[in-house]
C-alpha cells in the first residue's frame, strides 16, 4: 500500500527507571509510551499518567514524568538527527482557552488543570523548543476547541470540554522560510475533529508532508 512505512518500533520511556520511585515503576508497567520511527521523523505516542482525583500523583507527574519525557524527546532528536512528534493524551489543559470553564473555582484543584501541571507543560515547551502544533496554526486565543468531554456530565453536545490531546513537534518541522531541506518532513496543519468522538475523546489531526 501507499504512505510512509515505519522502520522501527520501541516501547517504554527509557529515561525513566526504578530509581525514580514506585510510581515510575507502576507507570512503566502500564505500557504508556510507544515510539515509532519513520524515515524522516519519530512519533512518540503517549498517555501521560493522570495526577489522580486527590492529586496523589501530582508531584510525580510534574517533577519526574514530565522531565523524563522532555529528556527523551531531546535525546531522540539529538541522537538520530531526526525531528520528533509527541502525540497523545497529555492530561493537561495548557491555556485558559483549553478549558471551557477556566474561571471555575475547582479548576486549580483538578487533575489536568492545576497550575503546576499547566506550568510544567510550559516549561517543556520552553526547554525543548518544541511547538504545540494546534496553537502554532490557530493561535493561543482560539477557543471552543476541545478534545475531551465528560460523559458523566453530558458535556459533548454543548461543547463543554478540555483540550488534553496534543501534537508537540520539533521546531524543525515548521521551517521559518517555508523552504525545508530536500526530503525533510514538514507539518502543514493541525486540528481537532469533534465529529469523531470515541467515548470521551475527539480525534485530532496532524498533517505532515514528507
> Angle, to 10 degrees, between the axis of helix 66-80 and the axis of helix 115-128?
20
Q: Which one from 38, 136, 138, 201 is the annotated catalytic residue? A: 201
- In this structure, the number of other CB atoms found within 10 A of the CB of residue 58 comes to 17
Give me the sign of the Cα torsion angle 132, 134, 137, 138: negative
Inter-residue contact 161 to 155 (CB < 8 Å): yes
Say how far apart CA 93 and CA 150 lie, in whole Å.
14
* 80 noted as active-site residue: no
Q: Which one from 38, 47, 136, 138 is the annotated catalytic residue? A: 47
* 38 noted as active-site residue: no
User: Which active-site residues does the annotation give?
Assistant: 47, 201
Amino acid at each position: 500500500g501507499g504512505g510512509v512505512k515505519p522502520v522501527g518500533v520501541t516501547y517504554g520511556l527509557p529515561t525513566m527507571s526504578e530509581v525514580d520511585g514506585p510510581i515510575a515503576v507502576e507507570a512503566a508497567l502500564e505500557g504508556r509510551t510507544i515510539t515509532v520511527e519513520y524515515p524522516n521523523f519519530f512519533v512518540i505516542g503517549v498517555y501521560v499518567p493522570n495526577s489522580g482525583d486527590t492529586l496523589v500523583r501530582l508531584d510525580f507527574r510534574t517533577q519526574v514524568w514530565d522531565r523524563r519525557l522532555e529528556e527523551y524527546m531531546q535525546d531522540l532528536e539529538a541522537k538520530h538527527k531526526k525531528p520528533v512528534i509527541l502525540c497523545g493524551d497529555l492530561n493537561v489543559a495548557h491555556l485558559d482557552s483549553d478549558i471551557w470553564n477556566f474561571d471555575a473555582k475547582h479548576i486549580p484543584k483538578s487533575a489536568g488543570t492545576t497550575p503546576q501541571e499547566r506550568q510544567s507543560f510550559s516549561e517543556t515547551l520552553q526547554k525543548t523548543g518544541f511547538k504545540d502544533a494546534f496553537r502554532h496554526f490557530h493561535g493561543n486565543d482560539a477557543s471552543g476547541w476541545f478534545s475531551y468531554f465528560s460523559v458523566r456530565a453530558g458535556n459533548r453536545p454543548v461543547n463543554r470540554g478540555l483540550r488534553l490531546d496534543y501534537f508537540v513537534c520539533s521546531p524543525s518541522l515548521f521551517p521559518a522560510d517555508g523552504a525545508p531541506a530536500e526530503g525533510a518532513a514538514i507539518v502543514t496543519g493541525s486540528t481537532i475533529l469533534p465529529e469523531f468522538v470515541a467515548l470521551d475523546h475527539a480525534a485530532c489531526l496532524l498533517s505532515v508532508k514528507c
